[in-house]
Chain A
Amino acid sequence: MIMLSDAWLIARKDLKLELRSRVALNQVIPFAILVLVLFAFALDPDRGLLEKATPGLYWVAVLFSGLLAMQRSFSVEAADGVTDALRLSGLAPAGIYLGKTLSVAVQLLVLEVLLGVGVAVLYGTSITGWLLLIATIVVATAAISTAGTLFGVVAAGLRVRETLLPLLLLPVLAPVLIGSTRAFEAALSGTPSEGWPWVGLMSVFAAVYVVAGIFGFGPLMEES
C-alpha cells in the first residue's frame, strides 16, 4: 500500500513538472510530428508503400519520441542533489519506479493519440479495428514505459546517459516494436485475430519488466 501511495506521489510530481516545464509540449510532440512529416516526404512518391508502412512508421515515431520523454524523466532527478534527496526521502524504491513508469506512460499515451491523428491526416490512413488498436496502444505503452524506466535508471548516473539510453533501450524494445506493428497491421487490414497473439506477447513483456523494476530499481538507483 505504501508502495502505491509513493508511486502516486512520484507520478503526480513528475506530471506537474512536465506541465510546468512544457518540455513534452514544446519539444517532444513537435519532434514526433516532424518525424511523421519526414516519413511522408520520403515515401510520398509511392503512396502505396507509405500506407503499407504506416504501422511501423507510427511505432518508430513513438519510440524515438518516447526516448526523449524517458531521458527527461531521469534528467530532472539528476539535478542539484535531487538523487540524494530521493535516496534519503524514505520513499520505497519500487514506488519510485512505478510512479515514474506511470508518468512516462501517461505522456506516451498523449503522444500516441496525437500521432494517431497525425497518421490519419498526413497518411490518409482509415482507422479500423478499434478494439485491437486500443489494446495494442495500452499494452505497448506499458511495455515501453516499464522497460524504459528500468533502463533509464541504469543510465541515469552516467555522464554519457543521453547517448547510452537509446543504445541500451532500442534493442530491448525491438520485440515491442515488432509486436505493436504486427498488431496494428492486423487491425488496419481487418484481420484482428492475427493481432491478438502479439498483444499477449507484449503483455508478458510488460509483466516481466514490472517485476524486474519492482525488485531491481532500488539497487540500480543506489548505483546511479
Chain B
Amino acid sequence: MNPEQILFILFGAVSLIGAIAVISFRHPIYSALSLIVTFFAQAGLFVLLGAHFVAAAQVIVYAGAIMVLFLFVIMLLNLGTLSVKGAMGRKLKGLAIILGILFAAEGIYIAVNALNDTAVASAEPATESVTTTTYQIGELLFSKYLLPFEVTSLILLAALIGVIVLVKREGQEES
C-alpha cells in the first residue's frame, strides 16, 4: 500500500463514519459537529486529488460559513431533542434503509461498470501528483464560464434579498 491509498482509506472512512453519525445522532448539535468532521475529511480527499483550491474553499465555505449558520440556527431555536418525538415507525424506517441500500448498489454499479464506454474511462489516467492550480481555475472561470460566474452573483443577491424579506416581514407583523 502506498501512502496515497492509506490516506484515501483514512479520509474516506472518516467521512463515511461522520456522514453516518450525522443521520444517527438524536441531538442536532452533534449532527452538525459530525458534519464538520465529514467536510474536513472531504477537504483531505480533495487535496489527495490535487484540487487545492477546492479543498481550501471547502474548509472556508462549508466548514466555516455554512456550518456556523447551522449551529447558530440550532442554538437560536434551542431545539434539543423535542422534534424527535413522533419519529416515524420502525417499519417505515426499515423500508427506507432497504431502499437506500438498493440505491447505493445502483450508484456503485454505475461507478464501476457503466462508465466503461464513456470518454471519462477512455481518457488515459492522469500521471501521479497532477495538481490543478488556482490560476487554471481562474482562467476558466473568467473566460469560458464568465456568464455562469456572473449569474452566480445574481443568485447570491437573490438569496440575500430573499432572506431579508423572509425575516423582516415577521418583525413588522409583530410591531
Q: Do A and B come from one complex?
A: no
List chain B positions with a Cβ less than 8 A from chain A: none
